[in-house]
Amino acid sequence: MTLPSSIASAADPYAERPAFWPRFGGWFWAAGVFVLTTVGTVMAFPPFNSAEFAYIALVPALFWAYLRPVWRLYLGTMFAAQVVVWFALLFWLHHVTWGGLVLLALFMGGLTGVWFVFARWMLPQLPGRAIPLRLLAVLALAAGWVVLEWVRGWLFSGFPWLPLAASQWQRSTILQLAAFTGAGGISFVLVMLNLGMAAFAHRLIREKPTGLNRRSQEFMLALFLLIVCMSLHVQETFNRGRFSQDFARLALVQPYVPQAVKWNPADGPAILRTLEELTLEAARTRPDLILWPEAVTPWALRGDARVQEFVESLVARADVPLVLGSIAVEGRDAADEQWFNGVMLVTPDFGLQPVYYAKRRLVPFGEFVPFRPVLGWISKFVPVGDDFVPGEDPRPLVAGLRDGTLVLGPLLCYEDIFPGLAVASVRSGSELLVVLTNNGWFGEGGAAYQHAAHSVLRAVETRRPVIRVGNGGWSGWIDEFGAVREVMTDGNDSVYFRGTRTLNLTRDVRWIDRNSFYVEHGDWFVMVCLALAAAGYALLRLAPPPAAAPRSATEVTELS
């Protein structure tokens, strides 16, 4: 079917276009949006750390949605863009598994792409609508993004890696809202800013209003939310120095054991010698406590008498308590043997303490094989033991210091990407969140920095300092307001090295024995977002349709 020239010209909002545009214009839009979305999103996150891109990365795709592009082209473009984004952000995973990288990128890209389905449906209906309905619609879209990030936290064992809020890990200006809403509130504000700018751009370029009508209420609402975040930051910045007190002096040991030799029995003695040298060096700085990273001993500390004797002897020589990650093997014989990934405390006077922390959130295919009756033919990529057993208790570890005690909330490996685990630890009385991890699996790319970004979010959410010690980095500490206070680096400013560093931690006395609103009330904001997303969708469906908007050139071509 060929449209009459009068209809075709009316459908095309531009007076002059190149001759090829009616046929290929949609593809030019797709290519431009694809490039801008992928580059902008990837640049916003570590290791690039250009956080301001998070304010605009979604704008091209949202502006395009306003123009009513062909559904198939729009969704195909956004799905492809999100898959490429996640492939690039998770590229460090190829050191472990190429197949897992591809599958995870497809899954994450597809899940994120669901949000753009609703954006494509809702945004073209907004021009000409009443202001309250337009505002509710963009709020609902921002809320939908938060809900999808929450779903990522539990679907198929959960992988809440890099929520949009994590892009701001070095910009504490916007982070303080997380103490009330969790990281979801930060993601909400960032998405609102993208929606507001897209609405403003559409109003100026396509609707072409005059006078006061140039204002975009969507943009003004987003700007108001940003100002709220900044005002919280100003308040905390003003008070931070006045209420700070010395907390603890902790020494971090970063052995940087290559993953290729970590589980090789022949290399075990050399690993122990490295730990011994670094620990005695750290002890000479007279810290209150020494920290080793996750699964640092080449054999199980609980279950291997030789390793236990070595560690206890070393701690007695250092005369400083030690907190370390190691394997615990429980059971009287092989028939009822159980393996745990744990955090343990060893003291100079009493040796290995009987109470230890067992990791609560295990890594699929690393520490256990999910759906083993179906996937039992797949082996773990960690060549240690059988399936690990998850812990169930967020119990803290209580370490005796020279001038009192320190209550530690351990988080092992990637547990700090799950906000609920940190919340449970703080509710159990933890004064300091301690992240022991091993990013040695993933090379020297962006994995360690991306991982550290989550610890920043946990610090703000719980109003507890966070100290991290990794096998090869990122090691350092973060205060209650998400400010990175110190990072272990070598002479080349790299976090990837072998060494030790002693840090003097402080804390804000206002948060001693006091919980943040988020710790007290949990994911209340997610529930609000669920209701908001549902309300926006329902009201937009029930509202009378707006006046017919002119079709874009791509839709005219499709009809032709």
The 10s digit of each residue's pLDDT in 173-208 is 899 999 999 999 999 999 999 999 999 999 888 877
Q: How far apart are CA 311 and CA 279, in angstroms?
A: 10
* Rounded distance between C-alpha atoms, residue 459 and residue 344, angstroms: 22
Rounded average pLDDT over 461-475: 95
Summarised one tens digit per residue, pLDDT across range 483-507 is 999 999 998 999 999 999 999 999 9
Q: How many CB atoms lie within 10 A of CB 7?
A: 12
Segment 320-332 shows an average pLDDT of 91
Percent of the chain with pLDDT over 70: 87
- For the chain, the average pLDDT equals 88
The span from the CA of 500 to the CA of 459, in Å, is 23
Q: Which residues of 222-249 are buried (b: 16+ CB within 10 A; e: fewer)?
A: bbebbeebeebbeebeeebeeeeeebbb
Q: Is the pLDDT of residue 376 over 60?
A: no
Distance between CA atoms of residues 344 and 432, nearest Å: 16
The single residue listed with the structure tokens 């990128």 is: 105
Q: End-to-end CA distance of the chain: give it in Å, rounded.
A: 5
Tokens 């699964």, residue? 295
pLDDT of 349 > 60? The answer is: yes
Residue-level pLDDT at 370: 66
Alpha-carbon gap, residue 523 to 42, rounded angstroms:
27
Check pLDDT > 50 for residue 289: yes
| Cα separation, 174 vs 195, whole angstroms | 17
Specify whether the CB–CB gap between 186 and 177 falls below 8 A.
Answer: yes
Query: What is the C-alpha to C-alpha distance for residues 183 and 236, in angstroms, rounded to an integer?
Result: 18
Number of neighbours of residue 375 by Cβ within 10 angstroms: 11
Give me the pLDDT at residue 3, please: 44
pLDDT at 367: 73
pLDDT reported for residue 21: 58
Two tokens, residue 457: 């979010």
Beta bridge partners of 409: 433
Least Cα distance to 191 among 82, 384, 39, 61 occurs for 61
pTM of the model: 0.90
Q: What percent of the chain has pLDDT over 90?
A: 69
- Kindly report the number of other CB atoms within 10 A of residue 265's CB atom: 8
Residue-wise pLDDT tens digits, 516-537 = 999 999 999 999 999 999 999 9
| pLDDT, position 22 | 64
Tokens of 559: 């009809």
- Of residues 549 and 465, more confidence is placed in 465
100 vs 369: CA distance, rounded Å:
13
Q: How far apart are CA 451 and CA 464, in angstroms?
A: 18
Q: Which tokens is 34 given?
A: 């694809």
**pLDDT tens across 115-173, in order?**
999 999 999 999 989 999 999 999 999 999 999 999 999 988 899 999 999 999 999 88
Per residue in 238-286, pLDDT (tens digit) is 666 678 889 999 999 999 998 777 777 888 899 999 999 999 999 999 9
3-class SS of residue 342: strand
Contacts of 393 (CB under 8 A, 6+ apart): 357, 358, 360
Buried b (16+ CB within 10 A) or exposed e, 406-444: bebbbbbbbbbbbbbbbbbbbeeebbbbbbbbbbbbbbb
DSSP H or E stretch at residue 184: helix 183-202
Give residue 16's pLDDT: 54
Q: Rounded to the nearest 10 degrees, what angle do helices 71-89 and 98-122 cross at?
A: 140
Query: In this predicted structure, what is the pLDDT of residue 426?
Result: 97
Q: Confidence band (pLDDT; 50, 70, 90) for 340?
A: very high
The torsion of the CA quartet 524, 146, 105, 497, rounded to 10 degrees, works out to -70
User: Is the preceding omega at residue 474 within 30 degrees of 0, hence cis?
Assistant: yes
Residue 404: predicted pLDDT: 85
Contact in structure between 191 and 169 (CB atoms under 8 Å): no
* pLDDT above 90 for 211: no
pLDDT digits 0-9 by tens, 74-107? 999 999 999 999 999 999 999 888 988 999 999 9
CB burial of 390-404 (b: ≥16 within 10 Å; e: otherwise) equals: ebeebbbbebbeeee
- Measured CA to CA, the distance from residue 119 to residue 63 in angstroms comes to 10
**pLDDT recorded at residue 337:** 86
Alpha helices in 241-288 (DSSP H): 259-262, 268-283
pLDDT category of residue 372 using cuts at 50, 70 and 90:
low
